[in-house]
Amino acid sequence: MKSKYVDGFLMVLPKKNVAKYVAIAKEAGKIWLDNGALAYSECVGEDLKPKVGIPFPKRAKSKTGETVIFAWIVFKSRAHRDKVNAAVMVDERMQKFAEMEMPFDIKRMSYGGFDQVVAL
């Protein structure tokens, strides 16, 4: 099986902004998929007190009244990711996002590109 490439995100946002974030994420997901991404997922924290490891809220340094978002976008390869993301950035639908206030602090967002090494 040929591996894929994944952009991953971890961010925090005020719980009061979850509905606004989800609405934005649904629109953004359509833009990524329309420009060639293979899959787009956004998840809001629900079970965030695990018995092992470092909980996402601690890792993300979330505060009282905030929750954690875990998200990823799947691509064929890093080159494909770069091509899709370049197309997304010039997609006219993205302009409204550039002009609006985001429901989270982008400076607190973690992001990285990952080679998929296991896919069952």
What's the burial of 101, exposed, middle or buried (CB within 10 Å: 0-12/13-18/19+)?
Answer: exposed
What structural domains does the chain harbor? 5-93 (3.30.70.100)
Distance between CA atoms of residues 24 and 97, nearest Å: 8
Whether the pLDDT of residue 5 is over 90: the answer is: yes
pTM to 2 decimal places: 0.92
Distance between CA atoms of residues 81 and 37, nearest Å: 7
At 1, the pLDDT band (50, 70, 90 cuts) reads: low
Q: Express each pLDDT in 54-95 by its tens digit.
A: 999 999 999 999 999 999 999 999 999 999 999 999 999 998
